[in-house]
């Protein structure tokens, strides 16, 4: 992947805009308004080679320009991000509930990546995998571009053993342990993921522990997989505002977290071959 021609600034990398072709100033103004026009006039928009765009610049369809986005107003997430482990290649943290892993939509500065880049002075920090905004627990990030691919590939090919803990109602009629396997589809712009007919693409081992906590071991990593699977069993995770029904929760309401914790990850380090194990220090779900 080509390196962005603008550096990370205050924890946030530049936005990439793929053009439809023609006069750049006119297109950016039409698509993003006066703020984009002002950035072009100020020399703050650059092409893929890092050359500043000016009012006369014309680029073909498919070309890209880069600029720093305007940050939305965000409600601060009032929780720290404890560091569990850090070396030259990785940082492992205990992500709190309500904090998105990386910038997306209305969550930009209030994300784990941006906050940690600022706090740890690591501008190349990048997540090797993602946790849902509402899920807490162990999150691994890479510190340098050179090692990013090795760790991301490890997660992508399922070489990481992940264990989650969840709280939900206990149904005596539900036979556990069991493996839940089905096809989960998450469509862009739709809040909920859904189960649809077809070959399974999502698989989770669900176990009930003696203290009434569920242990969830995903064998795949689909969006909202654990939440969908628990709801499909008739025991949705406590505090879930999406499954089985959508509940509108104010952005500044942190009183009822999703009772789901990414409790442990285990893997063979792709750089050293050493066995790694990281465990959340947060209380159970």
Instruction: Convert the pLDDT of each residue in 129-171 to its tens digit.
Output: 999 999 999 999 999 999 999 999 999 999 999 999 999 999 9
User: CATH code at 218?
Assistant: 3.30.2350.10
Do 109 and 37 share a domain, yes or no?
A: no
Do 162 and 247 share a domain, yes or no?
A: yes
Do 100 and 50 share a domain, yes or no?
A: no
Residue 104 pLDDT level (bands cut at 50, 70, 90): confident
For residue 151, what pLDDT is reported? Answer: 98
Do 187 and 59 share a domain, yes or no?
A: no
Between 234-238, 259-263, 270-274, 280-284, the lowest mean confidence (pLDDT) is in: 280-284
For residue 60, what pLDDT is reported? Answer: 96
229 within a domain of the structure (yes/no): yes
Residue 120 pLDDT level (bands cut at 50, 70, 90): very high
Do 93 and 53 share a domain, yes or no?
A: no
Which residue blocks in 42-175 are alpha helix, DSSP H?
112-120, 145-156
Q: Which two tokens stand for residue 267?
A: 């893997």
108 within a domain of the structure (yes/no): yes
The CA distance from 179 to 182, in Å, is 10
Do 61 and 176 share a domain, yes or no?
A: no
In eight-state DSSP terms, residue 256 is S
Do 122 and 29 share a domain, yes or no?
A: no
Between 17-21, 59-63, 70-74, 211-215, the lowest mean confidence (pLDDT) is in: 70-74
On the question of pLDDT at 187 being above 60, the answer is yes
On the question of pLDDT at 2 being above 70, the answer is no
Mean pLDDT of all residues belonging to the chain: 94
Across the range 252-276, mean pLDDT stands at: 97
244 within a domain of the structure (yes/no): yes
CB contact at 8 A, 176 and 217: no
> Can you tell me which residue has the tokens 């104010």?
250
7 within a domain of the structure (yes/no): no
pLDDT single digits (tens) 66-92: 999 888 889 999 999 999 999 999 999
Do 164 and 267 share a domain, yes or no?
A: yes
> Which residues form the domain of 149?
83-279
For residue 107, what pLDDT is reported? Answer: 86
The CA distance from 56 to 48, in Å, is 17
For residue 1, what pLDDT is reported? Answer: 52
On the question of pLDDT at 128 being above 90, the answer is yes
In eight-state DSSP terms, residue 63 is -
What pairs with residue 115 in β-bridges?
none
Across the range 189-205, mean pLDDT stands at: 94
State the DSSP H helix or E strand holding residue 114, giving kind and residue range, or none if neither: helix 112-120
Do 216 and 241 share a domain, yes or no?
A: yes
On the question of pLDDT at 280 being above 80, the answer is yes
Do 22 and 107 share a domain, yes or no?
A: no
N-term to C-term CA, the chain = 38
Q: Which residue has the higher pLDDT, 112 or 69?
A: 112
Do 89 and 198 share a domain, yes or no?
A: yes
On the question of pLDDT at 30 being above 90, the answer is yes
On the question of pLDDT at 186 being above 90, the answer is yes
180 within a domain of the structure (yes/no): yes
Count of the separate structural domains present in the chain? 2
Neighbours of 240 (CB within 10 A): 24
On the question of pLDDT at 110 being above 80, the answer is yes
Q: Residues of the chain with pLDDT > 70: what percent?
A: 99
Instruction: Give the three-state DSSP class for 207.
Output: strand
Do 227 and 111 share a domain, yes or no?
A: yes
128 within a domain of the structure (yes/no): yes
């Amino acid at each position: 992947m080509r390196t962005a021609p603008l550096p990370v600034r205050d924890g946030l990398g530049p936005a990439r805009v793929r053009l439809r072709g023609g006069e750049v100033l006119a297109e950016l103004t039409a698509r993003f308004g006066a703020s984009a026009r002002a950035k072009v006039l100020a020399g703050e928009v650059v092409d893929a080679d890092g050359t500043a765009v000016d009012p006369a610049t014309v680029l073909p369809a498919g070309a890209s320009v880069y600029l720093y986005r305007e940050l939305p107003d965000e409600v601060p997430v009032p929780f720290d991000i404890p560091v569990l482990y850090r070396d030259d290649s990785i940082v492992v943290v205990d992500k709190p509930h309500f904090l998105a892993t990386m910038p997306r939509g209305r969550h930009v500065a209030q994300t784990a990546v941006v906050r940690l880049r600022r706090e740890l002075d690591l501008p190349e920090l990048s997540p090797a995998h993602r946790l849902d905004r509402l899920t807490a627990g162990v999150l691994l990030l890479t510190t340098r571009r050179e090692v990013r691919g090795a760790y991301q590939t490890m997660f992508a090919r399922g070489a990481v053993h992940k264990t989650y803990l969840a709280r939900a109602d206990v149904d005596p009629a539900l036979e556990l342990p069991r493996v839940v396997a089905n096809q989960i589809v998450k469509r862009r712009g739709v809040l909920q993921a859904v189960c649809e007919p077809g070959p399974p693409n999502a698989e989770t081992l669900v176990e009930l522990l003696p203290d009434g906590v569920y242990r969830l071991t995903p064998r795949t990593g689909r969006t909202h997989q654990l939440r969908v699977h628990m709801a499909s069993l008739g025991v949705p995770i406590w505090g879930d505002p999406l499954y089985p029904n959508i509940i509108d929760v104010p952005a500044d309401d942190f009183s009822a977290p999703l009772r789901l914790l990414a409790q442990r990850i285990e893997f063979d380090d792709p750089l050293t071959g050493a066995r790694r194990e990281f465990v959340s220090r947060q209380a159970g779900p």
